[in-house]
Structure 1
């Protein structure tokens, strides 16, 4: 299996909305964004699947070294070879790939966030940086597009946090800021015990509104000249906004279940959004 086939298989197996967002791209750009996505999956899997914290740190350090090898011409992993290949055509600063790893490492040392400002740093590293790299691959003519990519990445991560509250709690992590829990009088114990209440629903409605504000802010910053090239991000936004709407209609029942869209609906949203341009 060649490196790009490996990345393609990694992306397809995930079933992520990210995969549907670049299915209409020209081959070269699709190959590049798939390599980036495979890299993100590899380092994210280290944190989610490795229960020995010291071993997880060691594995993330290995990936830092692999980034250096990939951009130094001596990769050893299929994803490293793919990144080396696509970096010839697209600007993928290795420093930003390392920042993604730094974000993943935060999960190994921090399971709570005091306020939204602290959470923003995490979201920036694991999502906004990905958005900035993706914008480079998709192409842009106006640097204002980078502000759009930054905020859209943040909106996506806030949506992920809302969807995965229960799943994350079972892993011992609560990303909802402590100041928000206190404001809505929702103790962490109720989240850990999957206890629903009107207070919890109000808390989640507040989180959803914050995510929507970042979607709106991102769209407002996308220059018309770059709208066509940045369609993959708009496709993903359509899918994620639909997911957020489903969660809202379900009354934010995210503690004991995971809301998702069917593959058919994702394909429909992707095609409709792409054609709309």
Structure 2
């Protein structure tokens, strides 16, 4: 799935890697239980649960979190784990009615958390950080709503429709992250939202083939029509010059969003927002790797190695350069 919090890579040696036939599709039959259990009796501490969730995901976000203070790292790790939990409902539960019930449970759990009654270990880990970082309920509910769209929608008519989806599953995620990272200037919100959209667009381009196996196409219908690419060609993973031209157009849009985000970041917040800039560096490097591969994403997954991602994160932290 292309959502921003589902970006786990499964790399092999080398800078950019390719995974044929998407061997690591969602596991499990997703039929056990209609709602997540509160986990009140789990022996693991909430903070350990979310840390394990973040590390096990293999996400690029992990590298950006490494350089945060312990308090901020704990907060963003808990928030990231929440995003992963609701994201996994869509990708790992095969029955739409069961998935919808689980997402409804999460909606109630988020509401109860902001009322001071968290039960799931993820929300118990996040709860202590709500007041210190001024977190509100609406963005978390928006993330759930974005995931809910994936239960009923497999196509997007135009740029506006795709932007709405990206707003829910990525833009608001960026806004919450910016607050946790230490936002001081209100203008940073626009930067964070635009950056989230850029990261999401990169995810979408990387996962076109993998999403096609699930019957989903996130590239807007009017964009496909513009380049004379049929949906069936993507679903059957048929690469063509027309598809490459479409992808080049989409990549240029993603690059423009990165440039726009960087221009929106106030100088006063640049230091605090380094984790987001690390993500921009890692994801833009991934976008360039996709371009170098000629946009052959229909039958392989292009990824950066952990070493490459760590290097890019360190370079931003130490040198302030992408």
Using the size of structure 1 for normalisation, the TM-score is 0.99
Q: What is residue 218 of structure 2 aligned with on the other side?
A: 175
Q: What is residue 5 of structure 1 aligned with on the other side?
A: 48
Aligned residues: CA RMSD: 0.7
Instruction: Determine whether 1:44 maps to 2:44.
Output: no
Instruction: Determine whether 1:161 maps to 2:204.
Output: yes
Instruction: Determine whether 1:241 maps to 2:284.
Output: yes
CA distance in 2: counterparts of 1:69 and 1:100, whole angstroms: 16
Instruction: Give the alignment partner of residue 75 of structure 1, picking from 110, 115, 118.
Output: 118
Instruction: Give the alignment partner of residue 147 of structure 2, picking from 84, 104, 107.
Output: 104
Q: What is residue 26 of structure 1 aligned with on the other side?
A: 69
CA distance in 2: counterparts of 1:85 and 1:139, whole angstroms: 16
Deviation (angstroms), 1:276: 2.0
Instruction: Give the alignment partner of residue 220 of structure 1, picking from 263, 275, 288.
Output: 263
Deviation (angstroms), 1:106: 0.4
1:258 match: secondary structure: strand
Q: What is residue 120 of structure 1 aligned with on the other side?
A: 163
Instruction: Determine whether 1:15 maps to 2:58.
Output: yes
Residues 234-273 of structure 1, C-alpha deviations (whole Å, 9 max, x = no match):
0000000110010000000100011000001111111011
Q: What is residue 273 of structure 2 aligned with on the other side?
A: 230
Instruction: Give the alignment partner of residue 53 of structure 1, picking from 96, 101, 119.
Output: 96
Deviation (angstroms), 1:171: 0.7
Deviation (angstroms), 1:88: 3.1
CA distance in 1: counterparts of 2:80 and 2:294, whole angstroms: 31
CA distance in 2: counterparts of 1:162 and 1:255, whole angstroms: 10
Q: Which runs of 4+ in 1 moved over 3 A?
A: none
Q: Which runs of 5+ in 1 are unaligned?
A: none
Deviation (angstroms), 1:196: 0.7
CA distance in 2: counterparts of 1:91 and 1:275, whole angstroms: 29
Q: What is residue 259 of structure 1 aligned with on the other side?
A: 302
Residues 91-137 of structure 1, C-alpha deviations (whole Å, 9 max, x = no match):
11111100110000000111000101000000000000000000110
| Pairing of 1:123-138 with structure 2 (within 5 A) | 123-138=166-181
| RCO higher in structure (CA 8 A, sep ≥6) | 2
Instruction: Determine whether 1:147 maps to 2:190.
Output: yes
| Pairing of 1:264-275 with structure 2 (within 5 A) | 264-275=307-318
Q: Which runs of 5+ in 2 are unaligned?
A: 1-43
Which deviates more from structure 2 when the two are superposed, residues 98-107 or residues 140-149?
Answer: 140-149
Deviation (angstroms), 1:143: 1.0
Deviation (angstroms), 1:13: 0.7
More helix as a share of residues: 1
